[in-house]
Chain A
Amino acid sequence: MRYMLLIYNDEAAMASAPTEKTYEISAAYGAYTEALKKSGAWLAGDRLKPTQSATSVRMANGKTNVLDGPYADTKEQLAGFYMIEATDIDTAIEWAARCPAASTGTVEVRPIWEMTEYLSEK
């Protein structure tokens, strides 16, 4: 099964962390990504620019509404993601727990709703 690991962090805290700490964290992410790849679980993954660079778009009454900022104001912000292949939720949780974000913020694990599944459910 495919799972998304959504990484939520307090981006203000991350931005103000000392350089040494930042280095340590990105090294940990590097190693984590490598471990995912070596295990064959890695499908995709990237880091997102901070929410100040976010733009939200919505169509209402035929009008395009473009907002400066993220969709939701939250204590922790979406900062990146991994898409992984795992046999079940427990394996996905095991990988989520190893993600450095699990000890600094939150990792949300969401199964991919495969097209074949929702087509056959109808």
Chain B
Amino acid sequence: MDNRPEIARAAAEAAARQSYGKLVAYLAARTRDVAGAEDALADAFAAALERWPQTGVPDRPESWLLAVARRRRVDAVRRRLTSEAGRDHLRLVAEEVEARTADEDFPDERLRLMFACAHPAIDASARAPLILQTILGFDAATIASAFLVSPATMGQRLVRAKGRIRETGIPFRVPERSELGERLDAVLEAIYATFAEGWSDPVGTETRGRNLATEGIWLGRLVASLMPEEAEALGLLALMLFAEARRAARRSPEGNFVPLAEQDTALWDDTLIDEAEALLGRAAAKAIIGRYQLEAAVQSAHTARRRSGRTDWTAIRQLYDALLSIAGSPVVAINRAVAIAEAGGAAAGLDALDAIGDDRRLADYQPYWAARAGLLAKLGKTQQAAAAYERAIGLERDPALRRFLQTERSKLTRNRGEATTPSS
């Protein structure tokens, strides 16, 4: 059987996966025309799928794609060569074509592209999606589904963001040292948002199509390798690897949610944990503390249980204290309250939760109600605990987690029944 079409298709797809972002970044770096670069590349991939089954896969598929994409783009610009702006654009493109031969190695501009995508002039909600689209080649519908917005909204957001890169002249460059901190944060935040979307969906339901956690790690590795001196870039990668290492333990074979404290440490991935520890050590050596390193350190403290068999909640609480002071958020405050409860008793934890209870954002935030319910249950305040569980159940979107919360809630009524008998 002739399976050349499949081989050609697989080769084109492998090239797309490996070098899509590199090609977009390189094509768009000088003209800032991201949409144009994507269109040209789409044409080039279509051409490859048409040609390669006949001619075989070229030795250097990337260079082939780049050469075709460039030619397409020159054609496209020539077609709308009515304005001065168009002429300038064409000159840039032509210079680029002449300057490099097709089989020459081209520089990796992905880091610059990421900084352009996460620029302060780009709407914050569009940054992570834009990175996913330009670096990884995700389509708008897949990204929309992952970030829980409508495909139409996401499509518009991406088109607008790309328009802004060109029209407001956002540079493709790694910022100067003086402004690097804040700008790198935006890039890291976008990567973490990608990872977190995949992480909250451990089974990777059909609509999401791809495992965003894996893509987040891939991007994290890319940034860590391109900026090996940046402590927070290393910290973020460590954080994601720690979390990823526990993936297999997060669900029972029946698909039920397993809380961290009850996870079987034998199911944790030691190789990933070791890699994360090494990264965290390298980051710490730079002596510039940051939120991702602190969060990774919390994860490190949790995973220490695989060796020691116990969790050092006092250390975790201190890490959350530090996190709260440099990057306070409702999430951090809730986790800190849980650590306080573990280290110093449920009543102290509940006090800490009460102290942040005024925050309007918490009213519709599931983890707040789940944490509250757990602490109230420990204090024997069964009725209040049940009400808090109800609220958490109503706010949860992951069916496995919802089932877990329902089980916890039902344990409550059962325990209350037991409490009335003298033997307990």
* Chain A residues near B (Cβ < 8 Å): 24, 27-28, 30-36, 38-39, 89-90, 93-94, 97-98, 100, 102-103, 109
Q: Which residues of A contact B149 (CB under 8 A)?
A: 89-90, 93
Alpha-carbon gap, A38 to B148, bound state (A): 22
From B150, B394, B398, contact of A34 by CB (8 A): B394
Task: Give Cα A32 to B392, complex, Å.
Answer: 9
Q: Is the CB of B403 within 8 A of A24?
A: yes
User: Counting CB contacts under 8 A, is B363 at the interface?
Assistant: yes
Residues of B bordering A, CB below 8 Å: 148-150, 153, 363-364, 390-399, 402-403, 406
Within 8 Å CB of B391, what residues of A? 31, 34-35, 38
Question: Which residues from chain B contact A89 at a C-beta distance below 8 Å?
Answer: 149-150, 153
A93 in contact with B393 (CB, 8 Å): no
* Shortest beta-carbon distance from A121 to chain B in Å: 19
A98 engages B403 (CB within 8 Å): no
> Are B406 and A24 neighbours in the complex by a CB distance under 8 Å?
yes
A90's contact among B148, B364, B398, by CB below 8 Å, is which?
B148
CA distance A86 to B352 in the complex (A): 31
Q: Smallest CB-CB separation from B393: which chain A residue?
A: A31
Whole-angstrom distance between the Cβ of A29 and the nearest chain B Cβ = 9
Contact of B148 among A30, A32, A34, A97 (CB under 8 A): A97
- Residue of B363, B394, B398 most packed against chain A (CB within 10 A): B394
- In the A-B complex, the 6 residue pairs with the smallest Cβ-Cβ separation, listed nearest first, are A35-B394, A31-B394, A31-B393, A103-B399, A97-B397, A32-B394
Q: How far is the CB of A9 from chain B (nearest CB, A)?
A: 14
Majority secondary structure, A binding face: helix
Docked Cα-Cα span, A34 to B150, in Å, equals: 25
Task: Please state if A98 and B394 are interface contacts (CB–CB under 8 Å).
Answer: yes
A91 to B276, CA, bound (A): 36
Minimum CB distance partner of A99 in chain B: B397
Q: How far in angstroms is the closest Cβ of chain B from A119?
A: 25
Known interface pairs A34-B390, A38-B363, A39-B364; A98-B150 also in contact (CB < 8 Å):
no
Closest Cβ of chain B to A85, distance in Å, is: 13
Cross-chain pairs A/B with CB under 8 angstroms, 24 sampled: A28-B406, A31-B390, A31-B392, A32-B393, A34-B394, A35-B364, A35-B391, A36-B394, A38-B363, A39-B363, A89-B149, A89-B150, A90-B148, A90-B149, A90-B153, A94-B148, A97-B397, A98-B396, A98-B397, A100-B399, A102-B397, A103-B398, A103-B399, A109-B150
Task: Say what secondary structure dominates the interface of chain B.
Answer: helix
User: What are the residues of chain B within 8 A of A36 when measuring CB–CB?
Assistant: 394
How far does the alpha carbon of A32 sit from the alpha carbon of B396 in the complex, in Å? 8
Smallest CB-CB separation from B144: which chain A residue? A93
The interface residues of chain A lying within 8 Å CB-to-CB of B395 are 35, 98
Chain A minimum-CB-distance residue to B364: A39
Q: How far is the CB of A95 from chain B (nearest CB, A)?
A: 9
Residues of B within 8 A of A39 (CB): 363-364
User: In the assembled complex, how far is the CB of residue A76 from the closest CB belonging to chain B, in whole angstroms?
Assistant: 15
Q: How far, in angstroms, from A102 to B398 measured CA to CA in the complex?
A: 9
CA distance A34 to B387 in the complex (A): 10
Across-interface contacts of A24 in B (CB, < 8 A): 403, 406
Closest B residue to A98 using CB positions? B397
What residues of chain B lie closer than 8 Å to A103, measured between beta carbons? Answer: 397-399
Residues on the A chain within 8 Å of B399, using CB: 100, 103
Cα distance, A33 to B402, chains bound together (Å): 14
Chain B residue nearest to A36 (CB atoms) is B394
Contacts of A28 in B (CB 8 A): 393-394, 402, 406
Closest to B407 in A: A24
Contact A27 B148 (CB under 8 A): no
Alpha-carbon separation in the docked complex, A100 to B393 (Å): 10
Check B393–A27 contact: CB distance below 8 A. yes
> Which residues of chain B are near A109, meaning CB under 8 Å?
150
The answer for the CA separation of A90 and B394 in the assembled complex, in Å, is 18
Would A27 and B153 count as touching, CB distance under 8 A? Answer: no
Q: 9 new A-B pairs (CB below 8 Å) besides A35-B391, A90-B149?
A: A24-B403, A28-B406, A30-B394, A34-B390, A89-B153, A93-B149, A94-B148, A98-B396, A98-B397
B114 to chain A, nearest CB (A): 24
Complex: how many Å from CA A103 to CA B153? 22
Point out the residues of chain B lying under 8 angstroms from A94, CB to CB.
Answer: 148
Contacts of A32 in B (CB 8 A): 393-394
Q: B390 — which chain A residues lie within 8 A by C-beta?
A: 30-31, 34
C-alpha spacing A28/B398, complex, angstroms = 12
Give the docked Cα–Cα distance between A32 and B397 (Å): 10
Q: Closest CB of chain B to A96's CB: distance in Å?
A: 9
Docked complex Cα distance between A103 and B399 (Å): 7
Residues in chain B near residue A100, CB distance under 8 A: 399, 402
Nearest residue, chain A, Cβ from B205: A103
- In the bound complex, how far is the Cα of B393 from the Cα of A32, in angstroms? 7
Whole-angstrom distance between the alpha carbons of A32 and B369 in the complex?
13
**Measured CA separation A35–B390 after assembly (Å):** 8
Which residue on A lies nearest to B152, using beta carbons?
A: A89
